[in-house]
Amino acid sequence: MSDLRLVALAALAGVAATFLGGVRRVFRRPEGPHRYRASLVSGLVLASEAAAIAAGPVPPARLAGALALLGASLGLFFWAARVNRERPLLLAFAAHVPEHLQTRGPYALVRHPFYASYLLAFAGGLVAAGNPWLLAPIALGALTYWRAATREERGFAASALAQAHQEYAARVGMFVPRLPLPRDRG
């Protein structure tokens, strides 16, 4: 196996370990049973990517792109974790009524920075592997986090924070920052 494949696999494994550790250290667990759906799907996506990376060459340009995406993923994850340190969020798909609306730090850019960080990691693995077959598990991962995000946003809509969240959602993109629209100077 080439050194570049090993670098890509080590980087992907480091990101996976960080996310797994986050489930234990960054988020609150809900009371009662929790099926860890999002964690299982993320594990499937990252394992599929690792297998694809191990099976083929990783050219230097793809490795550079992958490392940039994986680094951005970790940066966003750690930034969101730091902002939520005082009031940790519940795990994805935990049924609850939101108690506060976080709009600081990465939340000023995207409404769901943790999920955006996972999607960046999936993109990094795809770039490293260069295998279009990975689009299927990545689509499953993206759908899973979109469902989690929309479920959380329905919770805000049914809470005392509904108006504040509606205004926030009008300004800030779900997973991708909104670009400012040019003003009409007519």
CATH of the domain at 32: 1.20.120
Q: What is the pLDDT of residue 20?
A: 86
The per-residue pLDDT for range 28-62, each reduced to its tens digit, is 666 665 567 778 899 999 999 999 999 999 999 99
More reliable by pLDDT, 139 or 179: 139
Q: What is the pLDDT of residue 139?
A: 98
Yes or no: say if 111 and 176 are a contact pair by the CB < 8 Å rule: no
Residue 181 lies in a domain: no
Residue 182 lies in a domain: no
Residue 183 lies in a domain: no
Its sign, for the CA torsion 143, 156, 104, 13, is negative
Q: What is the pLDDT of residue 23?
A: 76
Average pLDDT over residues 130-148: 96
Domain interval for residue 80: 3-171
Q: How many structural domains does the chain have?
A: 1
Average pLDDT over residues 122-138: 98
Q: What is the pLDDT of residue 39?
A: 82
Residue 185 lies in a domain: no
Residue 184 lies in a domain: no
Residue 76 lies in a domain: yes
Residue 37 lies in a domain: yes
Its sign, for the CA torsion 108, 109, 115, 120, is negative
Q: What is the pLDDT of residue 144?
A: 94
Residue 85 lies in a domain: yes
Contacts with 44 (C-beta within 8 Å, 6 or more apart), sequence order: 137, 140, 141
Average pLDDT over residues 3-24: 91
Yes or no: say if 161 and 102 are a contact pair by the CB < 8 Å rule: no
